[in-house]
Amino acid sequence: MELAWYALLGLFFATYLVLGGYDYGVGLLLAHGATEERRRAALTAVGPFFLGNEVWLVAAAGILLGAFPALEGELLAGYYPAVAGALVGVVLVNAGVQLRSRPRTRSARARWDRVVVAGSVLAALGWGALLGGLLQGLPLHPDGHVDGVGHLFTPFVAATALAVLALVALQGATFLTLRLPAAGAATLTRVARRLVPVALAAVGTATVLGLLSARVRAAVARPAVAVLLLFVLVAALLAARAALGRGRPGVAFAATGAALALPVALVGAALWPRILVSTVDPAASLAVVDGAASGPTLSLLGWLALPLLPALLGFQAMCWWIFRERTDGRAPVYW
Amino acid sequence: MDTLFLARLQFAATTSIHFLFVAVTLGLVTLLVGLQTAGFVTGKPVYERLTRFWGQLYVINYALGIATGLVMEFQFGLNWSGLARYVGNVFGAPLAIETLVAFFLESTLLGMWIFGWHRLRRGVHLALLWGVALTAYASAYWVLVGNAWLQHPVGYELRDGVAHLTDFTALLTNPTLGFALGHVISASLVTGGLLMAAVSAWHLLRRTPDFLLFRTSLRLGLLTAGVAVVFLLGFGFAQFGPVGQLQPTKFGGGPDRDALVAGWVTRFGPGDYTPPTLSDVGLGFMILIGFGLFLGLLLLPLLWRDQIIRLRFPLWLVLLALPLPFVAVLLGWIAREVGRQPWAAYGLLPVERAVSPVGPGVMLASLIGFALLLGALAVTNWTLIARHAARGAADPALGRPPAPETDTRPHSVFA
Ligand code: HDD
Ligand code: HEM
Ligand code: HEM
């Protein structure tokens, strides 16, 4: 029961990273020497999906609160700066994308675009720091309090944050190669291809720092799974590069999406059965099962929420289907 | 300054901003459903123009509803981890259902509605807006189930100091839920209706073009607010029943209160169990505003033969009344939330056990950061709404027909 909910939580958060990832990736690319027209075209490509992407985060947080209340409190409060930083980023991107085209002057729009860029950076770094922080454990005491916030400022956490930033930028670029009019997509293919080695280098750095960190080695309960998933991640990145070279943007997007989802699976599987690993008192570590809500709550949520899942996914699929084509001169423009 | 105080201040600041936006959302979406449905049934183009103009303001407003809502949701875990730890088994369920059932669909559908103009069949496009409205109401319902439980915890049993769910239906029939829901929804309709009426009044006073369009929305806004204000007062006074009975410490005293406090002293130790007077003050002013808005019903007969527009001064009254519902909703929430102090869950979990064990420095940084961020975004957002309201209905970006195709293949607009 707990495992099913844990998997569902992972699924929602990973999907958020995949879908929100290209929102933020496109947000980052707004800084990439683009003209107002090109920025507008990029946001039009995200257009109809934007609002439906961020709800995966809202829902993941809802599952966390409903199905894992004890975990929710300790997780968010324990990694306060990472979560709050990511949240500020999400808020900035949300407000920036939705409001940037409401003023008419170019200068006001350019200012909002900088807000979107800053927000995208913060969101990617924040979630990356949270994933890295989980792998490294935290100074958690049995009464639930955590010593300060210094545990988040380590080279390994910085490296994972940067790795997620690189993956997000790549994801945004492959998304645009898939959605922009074919003419505009060519330049983006080049950008995406150049981002693959950057992402590989960032993931490699994080891996090396993780192997060197005693805390990470102590926290990871299943190193074999972690290494296996890392290989899959690298393979996905290489596949993305090959697909871009062969003009298969759909495959490339699927591959970079997988690369963003894999870190979530890696953290969940490598730490299992624990999720919060205490670096000061092993007995204070929190296992997933202990962080979960009690039986009646879980079964209530199961009866109420799970039957609705097909409908939720159905409406998302409907949105993807309606707007599945490349944008063109007649695509609705609003952001 | 201690962590607890800072966390409470942050919660009060962010929820208040959130509610100023969601009250408008809830009210306007209801009116929009009416407008777009009328356009669908009658086929008159004026309704499509009205839907686009008010829809534009609605969508701008929605941006901050989401931004602030996200902060609210994460705040429970960031700042109130004790709430999750001790009562999360019960309190978390309605909020989890809300996110999955309501928000998830609401935003997905709204995205398709914004981008679906001239692209989807008209019936499908209308159905999307209905979906947005229904899920918005569902979210108000579930979030209030959660809030009502904090006001009056039911349907649980304590084991080792942790609450476990025993009876979910008790949460749904919580006596502090029903009247509050009615009151909140009518307050949102009053707010949305008055906003519509006030913007229309401004255009009529300035004699901008589109007289007929703004005449229609003035009437719709005033009638909606007029009907809703009656329900608002009804549900408002009705709330005194359950509140007086179940939360005797909230407003005023009496033997009930003394008995309850004596019980708490034996269970939780001595302490100050009376809420700050701030809540009573809020209540008083809100009721005053309520009666003021009720008097506004006297304007409704002036709708006959457009007297209200010809006389002009009633339009000024409508315009000047616009801030009142916004002030009242904040005061109402202050009465409800401050009135349950010092409890996070009334009679069950004191706030100091609910707050996260983080240092005051972190909490202060968080308070300043989020308050400044959301405050600045709120002001910017209102400026944008005001500018778009003033710009009129000539050519809103929402639902603008696509640029004509360069090749001349024939196509119908609602293909
Ligand atoms: C347009 C806004 C508005 C107006 C004019 C009023 N209210 Fe209100 N009131 C609210 C908006 C509101 C609210 C923001 O929606 C609250 C906060 C929580 C709730 O349930 O509704 C609220 C709370 C609230 C409470 C607190 C319930 C509790 O503590 O649990 C009471 C007793 C009343 N109201 C009663 C009234 C009365 C008797 C009014 C007028 C004669 C009145 N309200 C006008
Ligand atoms: C319906 C869902 C809501 C829930 C679950 C909720 C929950 C909470 C919680 C957990 C706190 C902090 C603990 C405390 O200080 O009592 C709080 C405080 C507060 N909330 Fe709410 N709230 C809700 C709605 C609102 C709304 C919409 C508003 C305002 C517009 C609001 C206004 C406040 C205020 C002013 C405080 C501070 C009270 C004080 O500590 O002095 N609440 N609420
Ligand atoms: C304190 C408790 C509350 C929390 C945790 C909360 C959470 C949220 C979240 C996460 C969103 C964003 C959803 C999205 O991304 O689409 C949101 C929006 C919304 N909230 Fe709240 N909310 C609270 C209080 C309230 C109250 C009291 C109401 C109404 C009675 C309300 C009504 C809405 C509505 C209608 C929306 C839709 C978006 C919008 O209106 O702009 N919320 N809320």
Identify whether B402 is part of a domain.
no
How many domains does chain B fold into? 1
Ligand 1 neighbour B336 (Cβ under 6 A): yes
CA dist., res. B187 & res. B287, Å (int): 12
ipTM of this complex = 0.91
Mean pLDDT of A1-20: 94
Which of B78, B95, B164 faces A83 most closely, judged by CB atoms?
B78
Q: Do B103 and A61 touch (CB under 8 A)?
A: no
CA dist., res. A58 & res. B289, Å (int): 35
Give how far Cα B345 sits from Cα of A46, A95, B247, B337, B352, Å: 42, 33, 12, 11, 11
The answer for A 273-332 residues in CB contact with B (under 8 A) is: 293-294, 296-297, 300-301, 304-305, 308, 311-312, 315-316, 318-319, 322-323, 329-332
The string over B64-93, giving b where at least 16 C-beta atoms fall within 10 Å of a residue's C-beta and e elsewhere, is bbbbbbbbbbbbbbbbbbbbbbbbbbbbbb
Identify whether B415 is part of a domain.
no
CB of A48 less than 8 A from some CB of B: yes
- Helix A155-179 vs helix A249-271: crossing angle, to nearest 10: 150
Q: In which domain, by residue range, is A275 found?
A: 2-301
- Helix A69-78 vs helix A80-99: crossing angle, to nearest 10: 90
Q: Do A66 and B92 touch (CB under 8 A)?
A: yes
Instruction: DSSP letter for B277, please.
Output: T
Tens of pLDDT, residues A134-148: 999 999 998 888 888
In sequence order, which residues have a C-beta less than 8 Å from that of residue B263 and are 6 or more positions away? none
Q: In which domain, by residue range, is B45 found?
A: 3-391
Averages of pLDDT over runs of 10 residues in chain B (415 residues) are: 91 96 97 97 94 96 95 94 92 93 93 93 96 96 96 93 92 94 98 97 92 94 96 95 89 82 88 85 93 92 88 93 96 93 91 91 94 96 95 90 58 36
The owner of tokens 């088994």 is B89
Mean pLDDT of A210-222: 93
CA dist., res. B10 & res. A154, Å (int): 29
Chain A interface mutation, best of B56, B112, B349, B362, highest count of A Cβ atoms under 10 Å: B112
Q: Do A48 and B112 touch (CB under 8 A)?
A: yes
Tens of pLDDT, residues A81-102: 999 999 999 999 999 999 999 9
The answer for A 117-146 residues in CB contact with B (under 8 A) is: 143-146
Identify whether B319 is part of a domain.
yes
Identify whether A264 is part of a domain.
yes
Which residues in chain B have Cβ-Cβ distances shorter than 8 Å to A301?
Answer: 93, 96-97
The answer for B 36-75 residues in CB contact with A (under 8 A) is: 59-60, 62-64, 66-67, 69-71, 73-74
Identify whether A330 is part of a domain.
no
Tell me which ligand sits closest to the C-alpha of residue B282: 1
Identify whether B409 is part of a domain.
no
Query: In the structure, what pLDDT confidence band is assigned to residue A307 with cuts at 50, 70 and 90?
Result: confident
How many domains does chain A fold into? 1
Q: Do A67 and B116 touch (CB under 8 A)?
A: no
Ligand 1 neighbour B126 (Cβ under 6 A): no
Tens of pLDDT, residues A148-203: 899 999 999 999 999 999 999 999 999 999 999 888 788 889 999 999 999 999 99
pLDDT of residue B407: 46
Which residues in chain B have Cβ-Cβ distances shorter than 8 Å to A334?
Answer: 114-115, 397-398
Token readout for B24 is: 């408008």
Identify whether B173 is part of a domain.
yes
Side chain identity, residue B278: L
Specify the residue with its C-alpha closest to ligand 3, atom 3. Answer: B72
How close A188 gets to chain B, by Cα (Å)? 24
pLDDT of residue B405: 56
Tens of pLDDT, residues A11-36: 999 999 999 999 999 999 999 867 88
Identify whether A323 is part of a domain.
no
Q: Is the pLDDT of residue A232 over 90?
A: yes
Identify whether A331 is part of a domain.
no
pLDDT of residue B1: 66
Which domain CATH number covers A173? 1.20.1630
The answer for B 88-107 residues in CB contact with A (under 8 A) is: 88-93, 95-101, 103-107
Identify whether B358 is part of a domain.
yes
pLDDT of residue B274: 85
Identify whether B403 is part of a domain.
no
Q: Is the pLDDT of residue A308 over 90?
A: no
What is chain A's mean pLDDT, rounded?
93
Identify the bridge partners of residue A138 per DSSP, sorted by sequence position: A278
Query: In the structure, what pLDDT confidence band is assigned to residue A328 with cuts at 50, 70 and 90?
Result: confident
Q: Is the pLDDT of residue A106 over 80?
A: yes
Mean pLDDT of A277-299: 91
